[in-house]
């Protein structure tokens, strides 16, 4: 797989379909996909163009993205079972994009039988490209990334804990325990936060809703850089079918456990509802 060629395709499409609309959206460019969930012409056109260009390179691959799966949920199962597939998040952080906040991203993974083999995150407003390939590590703007051992003291850590979607009891516990950290600075764009984690700007990220197009790219990159990413409550490996079991990513296993204990306490008896 030509990782860098695909990275260039993503960059080109993002410049054509996203940056050309950035800070220029009209009301006609914004639609309500469902309550509280917006989609823009940039999301739709980016997914279409990326899919078309990748199909020329990989004609046998199954191609799907957040927007096409919203229209046809069965496409996700096709991605999971395909010998070769690409899963696209055309604009991660759509609300930021609409508000002219530069923290938005294009994300994509290549999969074989539902297992990620390569991933890409591009931050168009910063012209920053990150990618990874299984067994070959992670790269951000041409620089190979390897995690350093995390800060020992959680009080020195900066996190990106997204607690809004947590069940009420878990959310209250997490909100109260955020005082255990130096700062909590969620970007409300998973792609941005994963790159920030790779570059050492943040020490961990935590989520409750974990849709695959939002989190497969970043977790693959973090793990290829030597990081540790597991489901928030159970500590089990995160996979493409896991959407409401939480996710915590950190630089190493030791700090992962320390962060989870500081955020949620050692008693993790909270229920984990689906849906």
**pLDDT at 37 (0 to 100):** 81
Q: Does residue 250 sit in helix, strand or coil?
A: strand
Report the alpha-carbon angle 35-40-45, nearest 5.
135
**Burial of residue 24 (number of CB atoms within 10 Å: 0-12, 13-18, 19+):** exposed
> Residue 148: its pLDDT value, please?
80
Distance between CA atoms of residues 271 and 167, nearest Å:
8
pLDDT at 152: 74
State how far the Cα of 232 lies from the Cα of 241, in Å rounded to an integer: 15
pLDDT tens column, 115-152: 999 999 999 999 999 999 999 999 999 999 999 876 67
**Structural domains of the chain, ranges and CATH numbers in brackets:** 3-145 (3.30.540.10), 154-264 (3.40.190.80)
| Distance set, CA 166 to CA 55, 139, 234 (Å) | 37, 32, 15
What is the largest distance, in Å, between two alpha-carbon atoms of the chain? 51
pLDDT on residue 35: 60
pTM for the full predicted model: 0.93
Number of neighbouring beta carbons within 10 Å of residue 236: 11
Token pair belonging to 275:
């849906």
Mean pLDDT for each 10-residue chunk of the chain (275 residues)? 95 97 92 80 96 96 94 94 97 96 98 97 98 96 88 90 93 96 97 97 96 97 97 94 93 94 77 40
Say how far apart CA 129 and CA 104 lie, in whole Å. 12
Looking at the chain, list the stretches that DSSP marks H as alpha helix, in order from N- to C-terminal side: 3-14, 41-57, 66-71, 74-81, 94-98, 168-177, 190-198, 212-224, 253-264
Selection from 234, 237, 235, 240 nearest residue 217 by Cα: 240
pLDDT at position 32 is 87
């Amino acid at each position: 797989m030509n990782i860098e060629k695909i990275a260039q395709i993503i960059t080109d499409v993002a410049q054509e379909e996203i940056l050309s609309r950035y800070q220029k959206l009209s009301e006609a460019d914004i639609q309500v996909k469902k309550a509280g969930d917006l989609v823009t012409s940039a999301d739709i056109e980016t997914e279409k163009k990326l899919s078309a260009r990748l199909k020329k390179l990989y004609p046998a691959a199954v191609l799907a993205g957040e927007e096409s799966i919203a229209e046809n949920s069965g496409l996700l199962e096709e991605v999971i079972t395909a010998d070769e597939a690409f899963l696209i998040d055309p604009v991660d952080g759509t609300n930021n994009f609409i508000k002219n906040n530069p923290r938005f991203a294009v994300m994509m993974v290549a999969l074989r039988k539902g297992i990620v083999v390569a991933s890409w995150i591009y931050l168009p407003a910063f012209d920053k490209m990150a990618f990874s390939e299984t067994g070959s590590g992670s790269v951000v703007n041409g620089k190979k990334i390897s995690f350093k051992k995390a800060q020992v003291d959680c009080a020195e850590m900066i996190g990106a804990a997204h607690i809004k979607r947590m069940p009420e009891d878990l959310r209250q516990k997490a909100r109260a325990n955020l005082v255990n950290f130096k700062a909590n600075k969620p970007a409300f764009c998973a792609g941005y936060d994963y790159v920030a984690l790779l570059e050492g700007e943040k020490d961990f990220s935590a989520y409750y809703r974990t849709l695959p197009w939002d989190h497969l790219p970043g977790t693959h990159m973090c793990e290829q850089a030597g990081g540790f990413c597991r489901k928030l409550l159970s500590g089990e490996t995160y996979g493409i079918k896991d959407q409401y079991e939480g996710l915590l990513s950190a630089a190493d296993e030791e700090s992962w456990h320390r962060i989870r204990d500081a955020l949620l306490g050692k008693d993790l008896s909270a229920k984990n509802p689906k849906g």
